[in-house]
Amino acid sequence: MESGATLLDHLRDAHTRRASGVLDYEVAGRARRILMHGGGMLLPADSLLAAEVRRLSAAGDAAHWEPLLDRLAARLVEEAGARSLCLRPIDRAPRDAAGPVPTWALIRRAFALAADPSRDPDPSEALIADVPHLPPASGPPCWTPEELWVLERLRTAAPYALLERDCPFRTLQLRRVVAGLRAVGVVRAPDRASSFAHDSGLLKLVELLRARIGASLRERPLGLLDDALQRRLEALARGASAMNHYELLGVEPDADESEVQAAFDGLARLVHPSHAERAGVLLSPGELNGLFERAVAAMRTLGDPALRSAYDDGHGFSRAPDQDSSDRRLEVAELARREFERARYEERNGDLHSALVLYEQAAAMAPSAEHWLGLARLQAKNPAWGGRALESFRRALELDPQRGGEIRFAMAEALERSGKLDEAVSYYQSALQGPAPPAGAREALERLAGQGHGKEAHAAGGRLGRLFRRR
């Protein structure tokens, strides 16, 4: 960690590296410590908050963490000027330690609280959200309503002025939230490369390659003196954020798989985290680890035909003109299937923003009723996305009319949850028109009719029901 780094910087670095150890520091002459295990923050057994952390961990409800996270974030900010910071490695966490605390959520809150809200942002500066996939030790995401609003608005790049114009909460609070998200890399400029590994498969690949390259270096050490290594690493770190995958690996856009693999091996040996001590003070271990993860991400993307084709499309690189179109369709379909499975995984684990983005990518790459239906059901969980959910349901219905009963029933349930009961009646009615009416549709219709909803729709057959029958 560079000189002048604060307690928050050290905590962020330990979390990013998924480090285990004891972070020792001193505040007002008193020694303090923070336990880290696999990047997650633990509380010692003698901490006054340890019992509360155990209770919240057992409850498993992310919303219940909010008050405790706010208290811990305030304490971290108060101690941000700590001295003599040192992370002592440990093999295993103490058995009586409490946690982990939702560490990523805590770090975001602390950086937001420490931000200077009087600093005027550049209104024309473009920003984009880049939500990472984090190791299990991070705990539940615990996004605040303000963070979720910013993430939703920045799913595509937008200037800060638009955020401020449309913001439903105070401007000073918006500045703090954006500053906090930027400090941890969740919000960035569109032209800056992401600092995150974006799926669990990539994280596992990073671990495997870190071990393989480490073994290679032990058998055949890098033939560079320390000062030469430091100069190369410093130059690479300074320019890496502006490089695309081809520039990072040093290959041409038409490089074949063997060239990509050879280039990766050379780069990975150079930026391997085992060089942390030799890198001196020029690069922190976290920065070196970030370069290694970027090298792995570049190698995996350019080494996979489907991922590479999608990357080329998004970055303006042309493909060979004789590429077989049927192979291309199969590659895109496989990539969409992977995105869809990742979306379902993230949804099950509570990261709804990441799941939403992945569902949208799957539906855009390979439109299918399954992809649009997954997206619609997730959108329907948020009352603010009701219109988007109905449009996604409609697209699913157009792609697979045979699943009409199932899709209309899901639409009716979404409308009922949002309080649009007369419209829900119409969709329940239309769901019953097919050869295999969904279980529960008739009961739901009778329940709402008994409450006095949709009587006109019952008598007339329903405007929406007639529309679907015409189809």
Model pLDDT for residues 225-274, shown as the tens digit of each residue? 888 888 888 778 777 766 788 888 988 888 888 889 889 988 999 989 88
Q: Which two tokens stand for residue 255?
A: 């490089």
- Token pair 């271990």 is at which residue? 285
The confidence score (pLDDT) of residue 110 equals: 93
- Token pair 């693999």 is at which residue? 261
DSSP SS3 for 463: helix
Tens of pLDDT, residue by residue over 293-315, are: 888 888 988 888 877 887 777 66
Res 204 pLDDT > 90:
no
Q: Exposed, middle or buried: residue 370 (CB in 10 Å: 0-12, 13-18, 19+)?
A: middle
Structural domain boundaries in the chain:
7-109, 118-188, 200-315, 338-470
Tens of pLDDT, residue by residue over 26-65, are: 888 888 888 888 778 888 888 888 888 888 877 655 667 8
The confidence score (pLDDT) of residue 469 equals: 38
Residue type, 59: A
* 41 closest CA partner among 101, 107, 114: 101
Same topology, domains 200-315 and 338-470? Answer is no
> 233: how many CB neighbours lie within 10 A of its CB?
22
Q: Which two tokens stand for residue 145?
A: 């309503």
pLDDT: is 415 or 102 the higher one? 102
Mean of all residue pLDDT scores within the chain: 78
Q: Which two tokens stand for residue 244?
A: 């695309």
Give the dihedral of Cα atoms 271, 276, 279, 281; nearest 10 deg: 130
Q: How far is CA 318 from CA 268, 306, 313, 323, in A?
A: 27, 14, 7, 11
Q: Which two tokens stand for residue 456?
A: 């006109």
Residue type, 445: L
The confidence score (pLDDT) of residue 399 equals: 79
Assigned fold of 338-470: 1.25.40
Contact 131/181 with Cβ under 8 angstroms?
Answer: no
Contact 285/274 with Cβ under 8 angstroms?
Answer: no
DSSP bridge pairs for 187: 129
Query: What's the CATH class of domain 200-315?
Result: mainly alpha
Average pLDDT, integer, range 178-195: 80
Helices 226-239 and 285-303, packing angle to 10 deg? 60
Contact 25/33 with Cβ under 8 angstroms?
Answer: yes
